[in-house]
């Protein structure tokens, strides 16, 4: 692949910076404990369904209704528990902060592109102390598009003043992160360590990542090698 020096790196957030599936599992377990009935993994599967989306608290409403225990008051309490536990449980993967700090010291522009809305992204990033680490933050309510739409990637590139060939995208989804970034001419680093996506996310993906990351800090090795070749 082209060895042009990387001037900017754009990151996915959930399951790339921290294990968000683990966090949501903990939140679902807390709801089930509160209800005194049901199954946390079944509730989590409601969030994984096609349709409402992985962020939509309407999945909780659906689960309560399908299990014959919905009430407006109970739903609101479950949502409160869910949001509290979700935020409380977020922890960075090892070496995320130190890796980002070295990248900044190398004058690499850092961006973050997520399908979450700003209010949710900010809460998570503030919880782990990374809100001010990124030069640019792009959320669904800012770009108006969700991955794998090329428009959301191009919005981030244009806003940061970057060309695709001088930018690397780092994400855990082959379908939503790797394929579109490759199609646009970006270098693509697949965060295998964080891929908790359903099998359908990996089907019929023709574009292959340029790099596979087994840990977040593997990214530093890639950047050091590319810088040394310049």
> How much of the chain is in helix, strand and coil states, percent to nearest 5?
50, 10, 35
CA distances from 165 to 64, 100, 179, 203, 220 (A): 48, 21, 15, 26, 19
pLDDT at 230 over 60: no
144: left (phi over 0), alpha (psi -120 to 50) or beta: left
Q: Is 211 helix (H, G, I), strand (E, B) or coil?
A: strand
44, β-bridge pairs: none
pLDDT tens per residue, range 57-76 = 999 999 999 999 999 999 99
Question: 187-191 and 211-213: which strand pairing?
Answer: parallel
Using a cut of 0.75, tell me whether the model's pTM lies above it: yes
Mean pLDDT of all residues in 148-154: 98
Mean pLDDT of all residues in 38-45: 96
Asked whether 110 and 104 are in contact (CB, 8 A), the reply is yes
**Proportion of the chain above pLDDT 70, given as a percent:** 97
Per-residue pLDDT band at 2 (split at 50, 70, 90)? low
pLDDT tens per residue, range 82-136 = 999 999 999 999 999 999 999 999 999 999 999 999 999 999 999 999 999 999 9
């Amino acid at each position: 692949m082209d060895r042009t020096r990387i001037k900017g790196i754009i990151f996915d957030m959930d399951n790339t910076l921290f294990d968000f599936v683990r966090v949501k599992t903990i939140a679902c377990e807390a709801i089930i404990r509160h209800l005194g009935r049901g199954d946390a993994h079944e509730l989590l599967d409601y969030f994984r369904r096609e349709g409402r989306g992985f962020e939509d608290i309407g999945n909780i409403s659906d689960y309560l209704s399908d299990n014959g225990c919905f009430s407006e008051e109970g739903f609101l309490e479950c949502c409160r528990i869910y949001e509290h536990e979700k935020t409380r449980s977020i922890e960075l993967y090892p070496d995320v902060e130190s890796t980002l700090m070295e990248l900044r010291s190398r004058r690499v522009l850092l961006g973050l592109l997520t399908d979450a809305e700003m209010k949710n992204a900010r809460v998570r990033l503030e919880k782990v102390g990374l809100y001010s680490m990124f030069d640019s933050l792009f959320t669904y309510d800012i770009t108006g598009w969700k991955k794998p739409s090329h428009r959301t990637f191009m919005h981030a590139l244009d806003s940061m003043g970057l060309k695709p060939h001088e930018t690397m995208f780092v994400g855990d989804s082959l379908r939503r992160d790797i394929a579109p970034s490759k199609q646009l001419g970006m270098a693509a680093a697949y965060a295998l360590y964080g891929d908790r996506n359903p099998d359908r996310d990996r089907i019929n993906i023709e574009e292959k990542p340029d790099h596979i990351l087994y840990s977040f800090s593997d990214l530093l090795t890639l950047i050091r090698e590319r810088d040394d070749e310049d």
